[in-house]
């Protein structure tokens, strides 16, 4: 009668026990790693990781058992039943896989322990199925106490291992879980083998071939390690891919995709960090707002592709110039923000000099050489602000001051800037009240024929007489209206008021109304014009809408489509400020404008500048060749008017011919009179003709109002 204690592994097979232990340890670690990954994923990924877990578990458990069995020398010939050996492997894979699947399901509170117990039972069933495949020439008996103990150990330790594996809050849970699973497999095998007793039947002296058994054990170990290694490799590749993906997502979240510079989120974190350090070290933080000059012009004239290349080049320069304690981020389309923590003012001056050099040095883009330039606004912590928000706001104020001051590219914040901002905000609020309380007025400036001096029409100009501050020039409140979203409301009010006034005029002169870019971009502009003409009773051919070149150039295809819709109503279209914008001849060829308004800047220099006079002559010649009337703005002297007459200009407008005045003064001057309906206060009741221009290919439409 022999037990495993009697038949101790001899010195030739100790290394097989070591190999079995290595396979079991590596397998246990791989099993727990794969199982953890399976428990954290969903869908098809979860199924894939569970499959790898089951294969790794089956291979590790079965191979550990098989190698240890080959190391065991019962003192009698040994062989293995192939069918039962294969069944034992399948039992290990399917049983362990089912247990891990149950443990990760989370269907019950005790699912991890139940699933782990199922894994332990699979280890036991695999072991004893494998023992059924073990053929030895001897009498086999079992010690039931050891047999039962092996099963209890396997089930209990496996349940504990899986339970610990899912306790992610526990430190070293993976290592502890793998160690406990290793003990579950090893204790099952050796306790089970203690229950296994063999009494050899020595029929002859033939024994199993030890060398062949060792070679087979080594082959099984290699296959097991390959399988386990494949599982671990899958885990590590996925882990690496996840890490790379997280790094990439983190980089995308914190960096600008175009320039590679830190973005607004990174900037906010860095500014907080620098302010904290400045508090601790008694140093200062300079926040520098940077806005590129003429970048919109680059995009409009050269295309957004060139604009992007320019930004990339500038981003690379700004990234390279940064030193320790310095930081540059892209925080908007053409806006950058720099941070420097410093002690000495000379450090800040040096940083600003390097920023200016990077921003003003020409950039080679394709075959173009572009000099970008920029406006820089500087605010200091703690001198100018105590919080991040106020520091950013003050840097913006300084930057806008720099943008308005053409002589200086760098502007430091001072308290007076806040006073200006408060005054502007008050003015915006007053402007809203002026719209609601009818404090605005429309004045009209006469447009006359240069050759006959006859009146051709009037331009409607918005005026604001503030109840406290008196007359506020349009150059001051119109930009405020544009910045604060009031310009569309103002534009509609002017259009409606001008059309209502003009409908009452005798003779029926034209009225010219300016359209702002925001108003022109409005989707319902065409419907608004129809509604205004119908409600006021003004004939469509008496309304002239003026647009600047830059307004049209922003989106030429859409602009021309909208203009054709408006022109189809019979409304006249004038190109305003000609010569100051893009002055594209293609624009004049693409759309039949009813009038071109020559900008006043050329008229102001006409008497003294040969170049200005040549430009005026060229524009007038262009107008004649295209059969488009030319109106010259800003006529203030007899010499200017005489020059225009000599050059054949069609119409003129300016202080020499008449200043903008309200409708009452127009009547008093005798230039117009009001029709009977307007004089009686009954308002216009006329038929308004809204028609297509000849050649548009559209049928004239007549609507009554």
Supply the CATH number for residue 353's domain. 3.30.70.270
For residues 317 and 437, membership in a common domain is answered with no
Q: Is residue 397 part of a domain?
A: yes
Same structural domain for residues 67 and 201?
yes
Are residue 409 and residue 519 in the same domain, yes or no? no
Does the pLDDT value for residue 287 go beyond 80? Answer: yes
Question: What values do phi and psi take at 12, rounded to 5?
Answer: -75, -15
Name the band, by pLDDT with cuts 50, 70 and 90, for residue 652. very high
Q: Give me the torsion for CA of 24, 29, 30, 31, rounded to 10°.
A: 80
Residue 210, pLDDT score: 59
What confidence tens digit (pLDDT) does each residue in 563-591 have? 999 999 999 999 887 866 555 566 777 78
Global pTM reads 0.50
Residues 572 and 650 in one domain: yes
Give yes or no for residue 16 having a pLDDT over 90. Answer: no
pLDDT at 144: 87
Is the residue at 510 inside a domain?
Answer: yes
Q: What is the DSSP letter of 262?
A: B
Domain boundary among 413, 437, 466: 413
Residues 6+ apart with CB under 8 A from 387: none
Residue 286's pLDDT band (cuts 50, 70, 90): very high
Q: For residue 6, is it within any domain?
A: no
Predicted confidence band of residue 28 (pLDDT cuts 50, 70, 90):
confident
Question: For residue 592, what is the domain's CATH number?
Answer: 3.20.20.450
Statement to judge: residues 609 and 534 lie in one domain: yes
Angle, helices 264-281 vs 388-404, to 10°: value is 110
373 occurs within a structural domain: yes
Residue that terminates a domain, selected from 212, 244, 276: 244
Confirm whether 284 is domain-assigned: yes
The reported pLDDT for the residue numbered 219 is 57
222 and 367 share one domain: no
Output 172 or 342, whichever has higher pLDDT: 342
Same domain, yes or no: 401 and 470: no
For the chain, what is the domain count? 3
Burial code (b: 16+ CB inside 10 Å, e: under 16) for 12-48 equals ebeebeebbbebbbbbbbbbbbbbbbbbebeeeebee
pLDDT in tens, 35-70: 888 888 877 878 888 888 888 888 888 888 877 777
pLDDT at 99 over 50: yes
Structural element, H or E, at residue 632: strand 630-632
Give the whole-angstrom CA distance, residue 578 versus residue 594: 13
What spatial distance separates the first Cα and last Cα of the chain, rounded to whole Å? 121
| Structural domain of 313 | 264-413
Between these two residues, 480 and 653, which has the higher pLDDT value? 653
Domain boundary residue, one of 244, 277, 298: 244
Task: Say yes or no: 79 and 128 in one domain.
Answer: yes
Question: Residues 6 or more apart from 556 whose CB is under 8 A from it?
Answer: 587, 590
Q: What percent of the chain has pLDDT over 70?
A: 83
pLDDT of 17: 78
pLDDT of residue 339: 94
The pLDDT of residue 168 is 61
- Residue written as token pair 């914008």: 581
pLDDT of residue 3: 41
Q: What pLDDT digit, counting tens, does each position of 310-333 carry?
A: 999 999 999 899 888 899 999 888
Please report whether residue 325 resides in a domain.
Answer: yes
Average pLDDT over residues 240-251: 60
Does 1 fall in a domain?
A: no
Does residue 522 lie in a domain region? yes
Residues 405 and 481 in one domain: no
Average pLDDT for residues 79-107, to the nearest whole number?
A: 84
Same domain, 355 and 471: no
Residue 353 above 90 pLDDT?
yes
Is 522's pLDDT higher than 60? yes
pLDDT grade, residue 679 (50/70/90)?
low
Tell me what pLDDT residue 101 has.
87
What digits encode the pLDDT tens for the residues 367-378?
Answer: 788 888 899 999
- Are 187 and 328 in the same domain? no
Cα angle 308, 312, 313 (rounded to 5 degrees) comes to 120
User: Are 224 and 283 members of one domain?
Assistant: no
Q: How much is the average pLDDT of 669-674? A: 90
């Amino acid at each position: 009668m022999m037990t495993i204690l009697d038949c101790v592994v001899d010195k030739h097979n100790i290394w097989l026990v070591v190999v079995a232990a290595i396979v079991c340890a590596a397998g246990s670690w791989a099993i727990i790693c794969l199982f953890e990954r399976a428990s954290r994923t969903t869908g098809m990924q979860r199924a894939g990781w569970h499959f790898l877990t089951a294969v790794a578990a089956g291979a590790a458990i079965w191979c550990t058992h098989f190698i240890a069995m080959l190391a065991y020398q019962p003192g009698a010939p040994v062989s293995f039943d192939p069918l039962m050996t294969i069944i034992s492997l399948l039992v290990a894979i399917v049983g362990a896989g089912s247990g891990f699947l149950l443990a990760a399901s989370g269907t019950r509170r005790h699912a991890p322990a139940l699933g782990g117990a199922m894994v332990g039972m699979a280890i036991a069933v695999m072991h004893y199925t494998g023992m059924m495949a073990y053929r030895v020439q001897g009498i086999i008996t079992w010690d039931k106490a050891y047999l039962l103990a092996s099963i209890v150990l396997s089930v209990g330790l496996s349940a504990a291992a899986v339970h610990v594996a899912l306790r992610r809050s526990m430190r070293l849970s993976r290592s502890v879980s793998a160690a406990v699973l290793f003990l579950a497999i090893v204790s099952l095998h050796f306790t089970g083998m203690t229950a296994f007793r063999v009494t050899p039947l020595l029929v002859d002296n033939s024994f199993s071939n030890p060398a062949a058994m060792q070679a087979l054990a080594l082959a099984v170990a290699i296959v097991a390690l390959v399988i386990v290694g494949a599982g671990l490799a899958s885990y590590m590749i996925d882990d690496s891919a996840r890490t790379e993906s997280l790094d990439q997502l983190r980089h995308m979240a914190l960096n600008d995709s175009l320039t590679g510079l830190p973005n607004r989120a990174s900037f906010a974190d860095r500014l907080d960090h620098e302010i904290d350090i400045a508090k601790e070290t008694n140093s200062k933080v300079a926040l520098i707002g940077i806005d590129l000059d003429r970048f919109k012009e680059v995009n409009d004239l050269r295309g957004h592709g060139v604009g992007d290349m320019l930004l990339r080049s500038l981003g690379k320069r700004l990234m390279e110039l940064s030193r320790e304690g310095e930081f540059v981020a892209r925080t908007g389309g053409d806006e950058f923000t720099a941070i420097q923590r410093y002690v000495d003012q000379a450090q800040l001056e040096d940083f600003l000099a390097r920023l200016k050099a990077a921003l003003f040095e020409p950039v080679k883009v394709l075959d173009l050489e572009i000099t970008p330039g920029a406006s820089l606004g500087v605010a200091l912590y703690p001198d100018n602000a105590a919080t991040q928000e106020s520091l950013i706001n003050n840097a913006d104020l300084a930057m806008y001051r720099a943008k308005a001051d053409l002589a200086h590219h760098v502007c430091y914040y001072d308290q007076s800037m806040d006073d200006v901002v408060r005054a502007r905000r008050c003015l915006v609020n007053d402007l809203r009240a002026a719209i609601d309380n009818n404090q605005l007025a429309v004045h009209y400036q006469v447009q006359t024929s240069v050759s006959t001096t006859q009146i051709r029409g009037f331009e409607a100009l918005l005026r604001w007489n503030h109840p406290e501050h008196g007359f506020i020039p349009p150059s001051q409140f119109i930009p405020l209206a544009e910045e604060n979203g009031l310009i569309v409301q103002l534009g509609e009010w002017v259009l409606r008021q001008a059309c209502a006034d003009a409908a009452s005029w005798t003779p029926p002169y034209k009225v010219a109304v300016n359209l702002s870019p925001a108003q022109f971009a409005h989707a319902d502009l065409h419907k608004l014009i129809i509604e205004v003409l119908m409600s006021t009773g003004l004939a469509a051919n008496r309304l002239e809408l003026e647009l600047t070149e830059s307004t049209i150039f922003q989106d030429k295809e859409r602009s021309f489509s909208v203009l054709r819709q408006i022109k189809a109503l019979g409304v006249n279209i004038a190109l305003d400020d000609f010569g100051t914008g893009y002055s594209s001849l293609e624009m004049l060829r693409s759309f039949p404008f009813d009038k071109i308004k020559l900008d006043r800047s050329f008229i102001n220099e006409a008497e003294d500048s040969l170049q200005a006079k040549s430009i005026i002559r060229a524009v007038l010649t262009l107008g004649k060749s295209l059969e488009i009337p030319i109106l010259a703005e800003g006529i203030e002297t007899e010499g200017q008017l005489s020059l225009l007459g000599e050059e054949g200009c069609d119409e003129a407008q300016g202080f020499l011919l008449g200043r903008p005045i309200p409708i009452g003064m127009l009547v008093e001057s005798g230039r117009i009179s009001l029709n009977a309906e307007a004089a009686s206060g009954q308002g216009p009741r006329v038929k308004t003709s809204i028609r297509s221009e000849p050649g548009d290919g559209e049928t004239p439409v007549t609507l009554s109002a």
